[in-house]
Amino acid sequence: MNQGTPPDTNAMDYRSAGVDIDAAEDSKWRLKQHVESTLTAGARGVFGGFGGMFRVPSGYDKPVLVSSADGVGTKIKVAIEADRHDTIGHCLVNHCTNDILVQGATPLFFLDYVAFAKLIPSVVEQVVAGVAAGCRENGAALVGGETAEMPGVYTEPDYDLAGFIVGVVDEDRILGSERVRAGQVLVGLEGSGLHTNGYSLARRIVNERLKLTAHDPFPDANGASVADVLLKVHRSYLPTMRPILEHVCAMAHITGGGLPGNLNRALPAHLDAVVDTNTWTIPSEFRVLEAAGHVARDEMFRAFNMGVGMVVIVEANNVGKVAEQAAAQGIGAWVMGEVVAGTGVVQLTGSGR
């Protein structure tokens, strides 16, 4: 009887090189329901296409597309350590949404990219479910993405996440520094924790100084764990600001660089923003990190948002509109300073509270 060709014990395949095509296919079809839950009237095509499609929206006199790309930084390490992967995708979408919102744009569609050392379908599903939740919150269609398995580039259990957003604004309604004038008012909008910045420093303080794991209680947090505190979803300010964008001159999304490194991006070269840090109470998680890490207050304001997720620049007679909209969303809002003559920098006054 013909026994056939004996197996080649030296034969290699993609799985032996660390890439599991079957796991990739499993992951892909796990994502279908999450992706389809985000589709809006502008989306075209079907799940699994090579490229995402979206109709150019009508209703704009001079539509301008606004795009942005970002990641969630080392916040992803907290998600991995806690084995909690369903919030960072939401953080990513909200972060990108805020980035284009400061120019007056509202989202149209979103794409994500997730790269793993070893692809685990259940983890992929959690991550993309979070992305889908963020897309639904902000009215963006998740029209495509990429999931990659790259052993040798990443080490188990690490993975990385990035996102790409495209929104639209009428050219005559673009917000920015050209609309800013001396005498205008700075309104702070309350953040929801660290958002997606400062995590390399925060994690080092938590791990090395506080000696805490992701599952331990975070100090002064009413029993909430480190993961609960550090994985709070990065707040989207679109629901608050969208109804009143016509009354806004400029905005600054407070991300890496804090108030000094982001509010200055909304200023022309001949004006300064004077921020009174005594006008709000710095949230306890920042105070805990500051004390445990012996971090200088100036450095805290450069590394973290310190409780301010967005700064809105308006004429004084429009402050009430911002406060009313923020209150309707359960977000604190307060006058934190003003625009004055200067050289395009942010002046922090007061000692903080």
- SS3 string, the chain, reads CCCCCCCCCCCCCCCCCCCCHHHHHHHHHHHHHHHHCCCCCCEECCCCCCCCEECCCCCCCCEEEEEEEEECCCHHHHHHHHCCCCCHHHHHHHHHHHHHHCCCCEEEEEEEEEEECCCCHHHHHHHHHHHHHHHHHHCCEEEEEEEEECECCECCCCEEEEEEEEEEEEHHHCCCHHHCCCCCEEEEEECCCCCCCCHHHHHHHHHHHCCCCCCCECCCCCCCEHHHHHCCCCCCCHHHHHHHHHHCCEEEECCCCHHHHHHHHHCCCCEEEEEEHHHCCCCHHHHHHHHHHCCCHHHHHHHCCCCEEEEEEECHHHHHHHHHHHHHCCCCEEEEEEEEECCCCEEEECCCC
The answer, yes or no, to whether the previous bond of 243 is cis (omega within 30 of 0) is: no
**CA 80 to chain CA centroid, nearest Å:** 17
What six digits make up the tokens of 328? 């309707």
Supply the pLDDT for residue 39: 78
Residue 43 pLDDT > 90: no
Supply the pLDDT for residue 255: 96
Residue 305 pLDDT > 70: yes
| Average pLDDT estimate for 94-123 | 95
What six digits make up the tokens of 55? 């109709």
User: For the ranges 49-53, 111-115, 306-310, which has the lowest average pLDDT?
Assistant: 49-53
Q: What is the radius of gyration, based on Cα positions, of the chain? A: 23
Confidence of residue 1 (pLDDT cuts 50, 70, 90): very low
CB 230 within 8 A of CB 78: yes
Domains 21-173 and 177-349 agree in fold: no
Supply the pLDDT for residue 352: 75
User: For the ranges 16-25, 107-116, 119-128, 180-189, which has the lowest average pLDDT?
Assistant: 16-25
- For the stretch 226-282, pLDDT in tens is 999 999 999 999 999 999 999 999 999 999 999 999 999 999 999 999 999 999 999
In this structure, which CATH number among 3.30.70.2190, 3.30.1330.10, 3.30.360.10, 3.90.110.10 belongs to the domain 21-173? 3.30.1330.10
| Average pLDDT estimate for 190-201 | 97
- Looking at every residue in the chain, the average pLDDT score rounds to 91
CB 99 within 8 A of CB 252: no
Supply the pLDDT for residue 152: 87
Confidence of residue 300 (pLDDT cuts 50, 70, 90): very high
The share of the chain scoring above pLDDT 90, in percent, equals 77
CATH class of 177-349: alpha beta
User: For the ranges 94-98, 335-339, 349-353, which has the lowest average pLDDT?
Assistant: 349-353
Q: How far is CA 324 from CA 4, 237, 336, in A?
A: 79, 14, 16
Where are the chain's structural domains? 21-173, 177-349
Supply the pLDDT for residue 94: 98
